[in-house]
Structure 1
Amino acid sequence: MTRADLVVIGGGQAGLATASIAVSRGLAPLVLDAQAVPGGSWPRYYDSLTLFSPARFSSLLGLPFPGDPDRYPLRDEVVDYLTSYATRLDAEVRFGQRVDRVVGSAGGFMVTTAAGGVVEAGAVVAASGGFGSPFRPPLPGLDTFAGSVLHSAQYRDPVPFAGARVVVVGGGKSAVQIAVELAGVAHVSIATRRPLRWQPQRILGRDFHWWLTRTGLDSSRLGPWLARGTVPVIDDGRYRAAVRSGRPEHRTLFERVDGEHVVWPDGARERVDAIVLATGYRSDLSYLAGTGALDAHGVPLHAGGVSTSVPGPGYVGLERQRSFASATLRGVGRDAAHVLDQFTRQPSRQARVTG
């Protein structure tokens, strides 16, 4: 059996930020990550994914993002950055260790992995984030669609869709990026329930994230309240221009799917080859089932990442957890520090990492 001061579940940006801050506070964290390689969820995102925040606003504690601070990093650059961060981290990170169960024990928590490993920990932080489980909405007729249905988590590049009729469902950043990319090779509609919302990338010559930081909204507890509803698409003008030109076209979400057709709100039926669901993700915290930490839908009961239903665990990496920037590279560190306050105010068991 292994013993540790703190077990951090998840080795992506949230887990690495948590472990780094734990080390700075004299704790010896053990990071358990289900993936075989570093980078968290980033290696599984589509090939062309580009951050909407400049490199200068996309760093974890203690390691600036390399290169031009005003550029917008690509997916693979983020993977490389997180890999470098994990290598430099003064904490043990074990990859290929999927956590299967967490239960309370006399020593704090017992953490069991799918491979049969057992870790006793004084504290646990669930840092597997809010993007572990792709969300597939219950759209009428979708389950019987004769064409191809995939979530954006399965999308990689537009090549397989050349010449096809494609509907992208969703109005967020990924939905727009994917739809615009697909429109270069296919006939594409982006379908939403509500109007698309746009946020200019630059305001008075400054990036939007500079203003968020300057005004304090980026770290304010008012951020999630102000951002209620659909999240705007941060745009330098290219995406909005593409939609205005009809490539992709924007349409109100279809009413149902019927065989190989979608039925639009005006009653028109249209044959479609593929539907891409850019409909977001849900937390994957099944390892906490039975602890009382989750509600009936598997959603953590917490306030700012601190459990409100049972003593521990803590959470880092949930969307809008404490601020507008929660679940982002620039925001997870602040949330991790807040959550770790609850542990460092308590006497440490000084278990270190042994075994």
Structure 2
Amino acid sequence: MDAQVLVIGAGPAGLAVAGSLAHRGVRAEIVERGEALGTSWRNHYERLHLHTVKQYSALPHFPFPKHYPRYVSRSQFVEYLEAYARAFGLRPRFGEEVEAITRDGARWLTRCASGLSFLTGCVVLATGANRFPNRPTLPGEEDYGGRLLHSASYRDAQPFAGQRVLVVGMGNTGAEIALDLVQHGARAALSVRSPVNIVPRDVLGRPTQLTAIALSYLPDSVADRISTTVRRLAVPDLRPYGIEVPAMSPLRQLREHGRTPVIDVGTVASIRKGEIDVRPGIAAMTRDGVRFADGREEAFDAVILATGYRADVARLFPQAQVPVRDKGLPAEIAGTGPFAGVYFVGYDLRQTGGLLRSIGKQALQVAESVVERVATAPA
């Protein structure tokens, strides 16, 4: 099938690009491996809300409804994505898994597992930084008699009520799942291997996101000192509970390593109340539970691996090596050299203000570039 532009992925990034192109009068073909738009968001755990305020989380040319709260819920965000697609006349082809993207002369040939293929001048990859669960193999897990799952499979705490549950990893997902568990009748512990940067979602009623955006306009050294001070004043010392603080400021960690600090919505208070236990890293799993790095053994009915995700975009390009940063994330938004005409949206985790804000900016930038390429492409 010939087309001007193919967008791969019908989540926020793909819809933002396709909507921005439609706003400029360019229609893009869209393929999505899931059976509905926003598949990842539909499958996230139920309690999830955005950690970023709605005015900095909307996609281009389409604000959130006024009655939505400051921090939009998972289900509201899915409704918003559906409304966005309707507003711009976006009609993704669902159930289409892309297998390979290769050069075909001056154009790009994209092949799907179904046999469908597209020959286009531009390809926008927007499959998400969290496409595949990062599932480590733990020593002794084959002998473990309880339930072992990745956080991608966690929906709510109901199946774990009354159980002792270990959540491995204290990123935002792990911290919120542990909180969800104890608020719904489970007994939870967090396995924390490394120091953790934690900031409250709001400080004195002001969203931390807005403070971070304001600090991003200052010299890095000044912004880092201020963010470290805010962290020290706003977050209690958790070292007595087993959580160390990194020497690196939250902003520097984001800027240099793409690691978002834990945006606290109640987990810290639950740890201090003794509702959530903190344990060190795992040495091995046992028949009944876990042996930790300090030698302690403890029984758990279930272990939830909040160990992150990977994008794995390089596998789609068999002819050339995609330039990537650490974690395998694309290093460019607009491809150059052998990747001219290919765009990568939604993979830059280093930008201050949240991923959705970054997606909105990137979508407008990419749409402008694509329109220029389409206008100058040979007839």
User: Comparing 117-126 with 106-115, which one deviates more in the overlay?
Assistant: 106-115
Select the structure that is richer in helix. 2
The 5 A counterparts of 1:125-274 are: 125-184=124-183, 185-216=185-216, 225-227=252-254, 228=256, 230-236=259-265, 238-274=266-302
Aligned counterpart in structure 2 of residue 336 of structure 1, from 352, 363, 366? 363
Q: Per the alignment, do residues 334 and 186 of structure 1 end up closer, same or farther by CA in structure 2, a change over 3 Å counting? A: same
> Cα–Cα, structure 1 residues 13 and 159, in superposed 2: closer, same or farther, change >3 Å?
same
| Aligned-residue offset at 1:351 | 9.1
Kept after mapping to 1: 8 A contact 2:282/2:291: yes
Following the alignment from structure 2 to structure 1, what is the Cα–Cα distance between the partners of residues 252 and 327?
22
Instruction: Give secondary structure in 2 for the equivalent of 1:71.
Output: coil
User: Residues of 2 paired with 1:251 and 1:67: CA distance?
Assistant: 42
Alignment correspondent of 2:335: 306
TM-score, normalised relative to structure 2: 0.82
Q: 1:325 to 1:351 in 2, by over 3 A?
A: farther
Query: AA paired with 2:186?
Result: A
Q: 1:305 to 1:323 in 2, by over 3 A?
A: farther
Whether 1:113 aligns to 2:112 is: yes
Aligned residues: 346
Q: Tell me the secondary structure at the aligned position of residue 4 of structure 1.
A: strand
Give the whole-Å Cα distance in 1 for the aligned partners of 2:178 and 2:110.
Answer: 41
**3-state SS of paired residue (1:337):** helix
Per-residue displacement from partner, 1:7-48 (whole Å, max 9, x unpaired)? 010011000111122234443211111121122310011111
Deviations 1:213-266 (A, max 9, x none): 334469x9x997541455322225x22101111221112112211233311223
Structure 1 residues 181 and 154, CA gap change in structure 2 (3 angstroms):
same
Q: Which residue of 2 aligns with 1:52?
A: 51
For the Cα contact (< 8 Å) 1:9–1:33, is it kept in 2? Answer: yes
1:279 is aligned to 307
Match of 1:18 in 2: 17
Counterpart amino acid of residue 311 in structure 2: S
Given that residues 129 and 284 in structure 1 are in contact (C-alpha distance below 8 angstroms), is that contact kept between their aligned partners in structure 2? no
What CA distance in whole angstroms lies between the structure 1 residues aligned with 2:75 and 2:197?
Answer: 28
Are the equivalent residues in 1 in contact too, given 2:329–2:347 (CA < 8 A)? no
Q: Cα 1:27–1:107, aligned 2, differ >3 Å: closer, same or farther? A: farther
CA contact (8 A) 2:157 2:180 kept: yes
Summarize deviations over 1:295-339 as a string: whole Å, max 9, x none: 79993553345357643421111142x62346x222202122334
Cα separation, partners in 2 of 1:248 and 1:325, compared to 1, 3 Å: same
Gaps of 5+ in 1: none
Residue 258 of structure 1 aligns with an amino acid whose one-letter code is T
**Mapped contact 1:57–1:330 kept (Cα < 8 A):** yes
CA gap 1:282/1:69 in 2 versus in 1, 3 angstroms: same
- Change beyond 3 A, Cα 1:308–1:105: closer
Residues 215 and 151 of structure 1: CA distance in aligned 2, closer, same or farther (over 3 Å): same
Q: Distance in 2 between matches of 1:309 and 1:350?
A: 17
Q: What is the identity, as a one-letter code, of the residue corresponding to 1:280?
A: G
Measured at CA, do residues 15 and 261 of structure 1 come closer, stay the same or move farther in structure 2, by a change above 3 Å?
same
Separation in 2 of the partners of 1:235 and 1:300?
A: 26
Alpha-carbon displacement from aligned partner over 1:56-99 (angstroms, at most 9, x marks no partner): 22211111111346532111111100011111124442222222
Alpha-carbon displacement from aligned partner over 1:193-224 (angstroms, at most 9, x marks no partner) = 12333212223432112223334469x9x997
Structure 1-normalised TM-score? Answer: 0.87
- Rounded Cα–Cα distance in structure 2 between residues aligned with 1:108 and 1:289: 14
Is 70-79 or 20-29 further displaced after alignment?
20-29
User: What one-letter code is carried by the residue in structure 1 that aligns with 2:158?
Assistant: V
